[in-house]
């Protein structure tokens, strides 16, 4: 148990207990993705029985949840060439051919996304004990850029569906274990765990409100040991910040991130759309599936948009 008044001490203690620094050598850049081996992928491929697939991504458009917090905005989609240009004959192409082109401008973490290992630091240290200043500069993440895992995030996905939790509800290790048992799944090495809190469904019903930055259900700080012990490859939620908000200390900001990313080396997904998948899992009673969730290989990025695909 931790003291609400001592986030510094609690973070330091959890970091010592849960550190994976050096586990895969001093030059490692993949952290917990090392648990997702070719053997694990072969096993996961056998989970495809019906061939039914689900996109777990929200839309990337101007109607998204962002309100400018930390300069995060919704995507701006602009056409460079259009059908009207083609009809007007201004594109300059021969023999009647025309076309359309477009461009998008957006923060990489404005909708469904992965947090990379260069996203969060602890007292100036990044994943595997590197100095943050040596890892991420104005040129990007030179060590653990999201492109380093562009070819590995595919394997067994497990959904833990908590229905509709109220904002501020802290999901503890015993909740995770009991929900897995209720759904007939075991969680272990190399799995990609998806936690549905129901907050996204509420935001769609009632309006975005403070979905992208406000109170939310999420994982308790106490789950740091569970995240380390289970040796999962990654975890994703349908909320903006993965961990419970407000945080469980009197004065803190995302303390579980501060342990999970730079010390455990854990990949965290946020704002995933798990609703349709949850309905199907409830209907057939199967909460495990093949999951592929490759980030865009944006060189040096500390996060990436993603369109995860679950196949059952």
Residues in the chain: 312
User: Exposed, middle or buried, 89 (CB in 10 Å: 0-12/13-18/19+)?
Assistant: exposed
User: Are residues 255 and 170 part of one domain?
Assistant: yes
Torsions phi, psi for 179 (to 5 deg): -70, -40
- The answer to whether residue 113 is domain-embedded is yes
User: Are residues 156 and 100 part of one domain?
Assistant: no
Q: How many domains does the chain contain in total?
A: 2
3-state secondary structure of 114: strand
- The answer to whether residue 21 is domain-embedded is yes
Among candidate residues 278, 283, 284, the one with its CA nearest the CA of residue 310: 278
Q: What is the pLDDT of residue 1?
A: 74
User: Are residues 83 and 59 part of one domain?
Assistant: no
- The answer to whether residue 1 is domain-embedded is no
- The answer to whether residue 2 is domain-embedded is no
Torsions phi, psi for 189 (to 5 deg): -55, 130
Per-block mean pLDDT, blocks of 10 residues, the chain (312 long): 91 98 98 98 98 98 93 96 96 96 97 98 98 98 98 98 98 98 98 98 97 97 98 98 97 97 98 98 98 98 98 98
Strands 101-105 and 76-81: antiparallel
Q: How far apart are CA 289 and CA 58, in angstroms?
A: 20
User: Are residues 12 and 132 part of one domain?
Assistant: yes
Q: How far is CA 31 from CA 112, 118, 133, 221, 269, in A?
A: 21, 11, 19, 20, 15
Domain that includes residue 284, residue range: 7-69+108-311
- The answer to whether residue 126 is domain-embedded is yes
User: Are residues 101 and 13 part of one domain?
Assistant: no
Q: How far is CA 271 from the centre of its chain?
A: 7
User: Are residues 140 and 61 part of one domain?
Assistant: yes
Residue whose token pair is 């015993």:
174
Q: What is the pLDDT of residue 69?
A: 86
- The answer to whether residue 47 is domain-embedded is yes
Q: How far apart are CA 96 and CA 82, in angstroms?
A: 14
> Is-contact 76 62, C-beta < 8 A?
yes
Q: What is the pLDDT of residue 3?
A: 87
Residue whose token pair is 């090495």:
189
Q: How far apart are CA 16 and CA 270, in angstroms?
A: 25
Q: What proportion of the chain, given as a percentage, has pLDDT over 90?
A: 98
User: Are residues 188 and 84 part of one domain?
Assistant: no
Q: What is the pLDDT of residue 295?
A: 98
User: Are residues 87 and 64 part of one domain?
Assistant: no
The CATH number for 150's domain is 3.50.30.50
User: Are residues 294 and 280 part of one domain?
Assistant: yes
User: Are residues 177 and 86 part of one domain?
Assistant: no
- The answer to whether residue 231 is domain-embedded is yes
User: Are residues 47 and 22 part of one domain?
Assistant: yes
Q: How far apart are CA 76 and CA 105, in angstroms?
A: 5
User: Are residues 208 and 278 part of one domain?
Assistant: yes
Would the pTM of this model clear 0.85, i.e. be above it? yes
Residue whose token pair is 């798990």:
274
Q: Where are the alpha helices (DSSP H) in the chain?
A: 7-18, 38-45, 83-88, 132-135, 173-182, 199-206, 224-229, 255-259, 275-284
- The answer to whether residue 61 is domain-embedded is yes
């Amino acid at each position: 148990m931790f003291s609400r008044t001592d986030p510094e001490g609690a973070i330091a203690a959890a970091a010592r207990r849960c550190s994976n620094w050096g586990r895969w050598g001093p030059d490692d850049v993949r952290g917990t993705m090392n648990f997702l081996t070719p053997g694990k992928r072969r096993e996961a491929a056998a989970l495809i029985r019906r061939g039914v697939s689900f996109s777990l991504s929200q839309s990337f458009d101007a109607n998204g949840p962002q309100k400018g917090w930390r300069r995060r905005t919704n995507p701006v989609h602009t056409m460079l060439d259009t059908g009207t240009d083609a009809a007007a004959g201004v594109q300059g192409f021969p023999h009647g051919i025309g076309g359309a082109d477009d461009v998008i401008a957006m923060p990489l973490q404005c909708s469904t996304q992965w947090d990379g290992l260069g996203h969060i630091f602890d007292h100036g240290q990044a994943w595997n004990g590197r100095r943050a200043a040596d890892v991420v500069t104005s040129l990007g993440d030179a060590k653990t850029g999201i492109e380093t895992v562009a070819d590995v995030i595919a394997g067994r996905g497990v959904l833990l569906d908590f229905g509709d939790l109220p904002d501020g509800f802290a999901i503890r290790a015993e909740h995770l274990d009991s929900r897995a048992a209720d759904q007939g799944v075991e969680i272990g090495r190399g799995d990609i765990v998806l936690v549905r809190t129901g907050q996204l469904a509420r935001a769609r019903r009632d309006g975005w409100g403070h979905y992208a930055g406000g109170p939310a259900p999420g994982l308790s700080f106490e789950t740091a040991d569970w995240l380390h012990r289970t040796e999962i490859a990654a975890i994703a939620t349908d909320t903006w910040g993965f961990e419970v908000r407000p945080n469980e200390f009197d004065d803190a900001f995302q303390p579980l991130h501060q342990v999970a990313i730079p010390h455990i080396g854990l990949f965290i997904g946020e704002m995933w759309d798990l609703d349709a998948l949850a309905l199907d899992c409830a209907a057939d009673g199967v909460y495990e599936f093949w999951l592929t969730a490759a980030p865009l290989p944006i060189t040096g990025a500390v996060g990436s948009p993603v369109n995860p695909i679950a196949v059952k």
